[in-house]
Structure 1
Amino acid sequence: MPLSETPSTERNGGTERNGASAVIERASAVLFAFTVEQPELGLGEVARRTGLPASTVRRLLVQLTSVGLVEQDPETQRYSLSLRLAQLGSVALERVDVIRLARAAMQEVTDQVGEAAFLGQLTPHGVVYLAVTQPPVSVRVTTRVGDLRPAHTTAMGKVLLAALSPEELRLRLQEPLVASTNRSHVSLPDLLAELGEVRASGLATNFGEAHPEYSSVAAPVLDHRRQTVAALAISAPTYRVPEDALPRLSRAVVAAAAAVSQQLGCPLAHTA
């Protein structure tokens, strides 16, 4: 049964809309009624969530079931989204460009805190900087797109290392660790202990470890599988990051990373 009704024209707030468009809107509302927290819903629950009449919801659910987008449990009579939607979603996610999606969140956090924001990913040779947004100030962090830094010396690198398995870390990290400054980790056990804290908190810091005059905080960017695919950082000259500023910067970077994660389809990507 096709998702269609007899073509008609209806008025909503003085604006005319084609009946077919209205059907698509209502069908979309039904699909979006299902959430990670409540993946199964009864007819009445869908009606309450969408604000649509139960008769309309029933008809739409029958049609959505007939085209394989919704499934109904024969015992409970409750509805859920089908795996066919997951297949469609995976097609879209394959085309997602994390750099493009991150730019708006990065610019927003730069405008909010007045400091540079960076996006990075892990490579076999360290963390590479993929995108940068700079504040309109004369003294700024000089890192550029394409720059490469030892992962264990940067906040972004620590976030990305913390997402690796113990075996991956063992293959990647070997003592003695190369120091970029006198604050860099050179002890592997000390670094692994910090990575455990990063893994638990979802936040990493760097105080003069990659460059003696710069400090940063970073958070992970997660995809639809909740896998870390990048890291987002706020970085500034250390003199502009007093201890009492760290909570504000931490909240800002976690919120920005969560915003990008949500665009990548990460479920339950909450801001702090």
Structure 2
Amino acid sequence: MSKTSMSTVDKALALLRYFSVQHPEIGLSELSRLAGYDKTTILRCMTALERNGFIEQSPETKRYRLGLAPATYARIRERSFPLMAFLQPQMDRLAANTGETAHATVVTGHILMTVQISEPDRATRVYIDPSIPLPVHATASGIVIAAHLPDAQRADLVAHSAFQQFTDSTTVDPQLFNDQLARARAQGFARADRSFENDVMGTAAAFFGPNGVLGGAVAVAAVASRFDARVEARIVQEVRAAAASVTQQLGGTLPTAPAGGN
């Protein structure tokens, strides 16, 4: 495939990221504005996506929405390489045991994608939008995933990260970020102290597949106002136990030494 063709494919697939729970339908002009491409390019990409079932166009509004093809491919993937079946019970148990929102994240390409969420049965809780990619430097999931990636893959992921300042607590200094990675490897979990959202404390641990290959991370996003030493200790214990359980169910092995240099 030529470089030009590959660029067109990248552009088309990247447009799918603009669809979310908050924005289930998007018009041509809005997509053009969001993506920064002219309408002709957007129309060509959307036509190809629609032809392959990734996108549908509303007959009433003419706005675009996600098609059924992604759901079909997701089912094939899960039947062939199960993951969600292992994650959902663990996330439900994690939310119930901590009283906070639990979620699981995997890395695909340069994107940290939330694949499972379980919310506690209480009025005040952290809401996580699964359509929003998690920043690697500002979330516990991102930190612990980056900490356990092989050096080359970690460098590639970090190179594609904007290191945006979300709050006053966000780490944007590369050396401080490296210190966070080393700490996460040493203690077996990562903490994000109001670095993505001002009222959220994140705690995450990595899970692994066969041969110790990183699978992703399980995490708890807790309301900061009720986060104290007792809550912290319980969340760390539960998150690490959930990560170990998912690892075992995947037939994986936990690392016995700091990751890196692979």
TM range (shorter): 0.5 to 0.7
The TM-score with structure 2 as length reference comes to 0.63
Distance 2:213 2:249 in 1: 14
Matched position secondary structure for 2:120: coil
Of 126, 133, 137, the residue aligned with 1:141 is 126
Distance 1:264 1:169 in 2: 23
Matched, 1:100 2:85: yes
How many residues of Structure 1 are paired with residues of Structure 2 in the alignment?
Answer: 178
Letter in 2 for 1:135: P
Matched, 1:150 2:129: no
Q: Cα RMSD (Å) of the superposition?
A: 2.3
Q: Deviations over 1:93-123 (max 9, x none)?
A: 9933212211111111111111111000124
- Flag structure 1 segments of 5+ consecutive residues without an equivalent: 1-92
Q: 1:256 to 1:193 in 2, by over 3 A?
A: same
Percent identity reads 24
Of 209, 232, 249, the residue aligned with 1:223 is 209
Distance 2:142 2:179 in 1: 15
Q: 1:104 to 1:189 in 2, by over 3 A?
A: same
Q: 1:252 to 1:229 in 2, by over 3 A?
A: same
Aligned twin of 2:221: 235
Aligned twin of 1:164: 149
- Flag structure 2 segments of 5+ consecutive residues without an equivalent: 1-77, 257-262
Matched position secondary structure for 2:137: helix
Distance 1:110 1:125 in 2: 28
Aligned residue runs from structure 1 range 55-134, under 5 A:
95-134=80-119
- 1:268: how far off? 6.4
Q: Tell me: higher relative CO, structure 1 or 2? Use CA pairs within 8 A at least 6 residues apart.
A: 2
Distance 1:172 1:216 in 2: 20
Letter in 1 for 2:251: G
The TM-score with structure 1 as length reference comes to 0.60
Distance 2:94 2:163 in 1: 32
Q: Return the index of the structure with the highest Cα Rg.
A: 1
Kindly indicate whether the alpha-carbon contact (under 8 Å) linking 1:162 and 1:199 is maintained by their aligned counterparts in 2: yes
- 1:269: how far off? 9.0
Q: Deviations over 1:223-271 (max 9, x none)?
A: 122111110001111012113321111000000111111110024699x
